[in-house]
């Protein structure tokens, strides 16, 4: 089994020392930085906006993986592309013209990702799979870090891996919510290519060890 990409979520970092948090990501062996944008509407909390992404951008050479948990994501695509996002994922549940938004992200030269919450089935996004660079499976209800992974959501990861194989699609499958040392083996076995981790990364004193455990490389 290939080691997955690790994407620490800065939602779990201390916002007053974000530069220090960002600086810990690449040396740990993690490849991506996950940036959770919450609007207080699609989900109750408000996290941060595009200025934060733009201010952090020069501090890191990792892939910036922006996860928009916002209503009307279409209005935000250009702003986050300009702020330095490499990947822009938005929620199927937050938009009607999902196809158009995916095309808009790709037209801006960014990788397009689509996310579904635990209550949405893979079948809802089947028509869009050939267009996607990334499918982000939420394994908790979005809005908060430190929640418990819902194991049933991993069936969706297996299903997405099967469809990709059968149809010859190329999206990466990422898993977000409750990924920690105990659940990471299940997530990897289900076929996830990208593991997103907030508390399990920033809550660990030894970031290298945390990354190795999550990626399945610890001895």
**What is the binding site for Zn ion (CB under 5 A)?**
36, 67, 176
Residues 6+ positions from 46 with CB-CB distance below 8 Å? 38, 39, 40
Pattern 152-191, binding to ligand DX5, x per CB under 6 A? ------------------------xxxx------------
Alpha-carbon distance of 138 to 115, in angstroms, equals 7
Residue 81's H or E segment, with its range, is helix 77-83
Residues 105-144 as x/- pattern, contact with ligand DX5 by CB under 6 A: -----------------------------------x-xxx
Cβ atoms within 10 A of the Cβ of 121, count?
A: 11
User: What number of CA atoms fall less than 13 Å from residue 94's CA on the CB side?
Assistant: 25
Residues in contact with ligand DX5, shown as a per-residue x/- string from 2 to 41 under the rule CB under 6 A: -------x-xx---------------------x-x-----
Going by C-alpha positions, the residue among 96, 162, 90 that lies closest to residue 132 is 90
Instruction: Give 69 or 132: the residue with its C-beta nearer to ligand DX5.
Output: 69
Strand order in the sheet with 172-176: 5-8, 194-197, 172-176, 134-138, 111-116, 87-91, 63-69, 32-38
198 binds, among Zn ion, ligand DX5, none (CB under 5 to 8 A by kind): ligand DX5
Among 4, 21, 73, 198, binds ligand DX5 (CB under 6 A): 198
> Would you please indicate which residues are annotated as catalytic (active-site) residues?
36, 176
Which residues form the interface with ligand DX5 (CB under 6 A)?
9, 11-12, 34, 36, 67, 140, 142-147, 176-179, 196-200
């Amino acid at each position: 089994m290939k080691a997955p990409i690790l994407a620490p979520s800065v939602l779990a970092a201390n916002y007053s020392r974000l530069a220090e948090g960002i600086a810990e990501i690449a040396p740990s062996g993690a490849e991506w930085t996950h940036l959770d944008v919450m609007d207080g509407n699609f989900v109750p909390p408000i996290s941060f906006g595009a200025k934060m992404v733009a201010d952090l951008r020069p501090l890191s050479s990792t892939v910036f993986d922006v996860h928009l948990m916002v209503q009307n994501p279409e209005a935000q695509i250009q702003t986050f592309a300009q702020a330095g996002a490499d990947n822009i994922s938005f929620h199927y549940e937050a938009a009607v013209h999902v196809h158009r938004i995916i095309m808009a992200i790709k037209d801006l030269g960014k990788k397009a990702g689509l996310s579904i919450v635990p209550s949405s089935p893979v079948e809802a996004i089947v028509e869009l799979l050939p267009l996607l660079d990334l499918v982000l499976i939420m394994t908790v209800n979005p809005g908060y870090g430190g929640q418990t992974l819902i194991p049933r959501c991993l069936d969706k990861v297996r299903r997405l891996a099967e469809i990709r194989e059968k149809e010859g699609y190329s999206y990466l499958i990422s898993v977000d919510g409750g990924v920690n040392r105990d659940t990471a083996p299940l997530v990897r076995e289900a076929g996830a290519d990208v593991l997103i981790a907030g508390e399990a990364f920033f809550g660990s004193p030894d970031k290298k060890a945390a990354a190795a455990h999550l990626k399945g490389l610890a001895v």
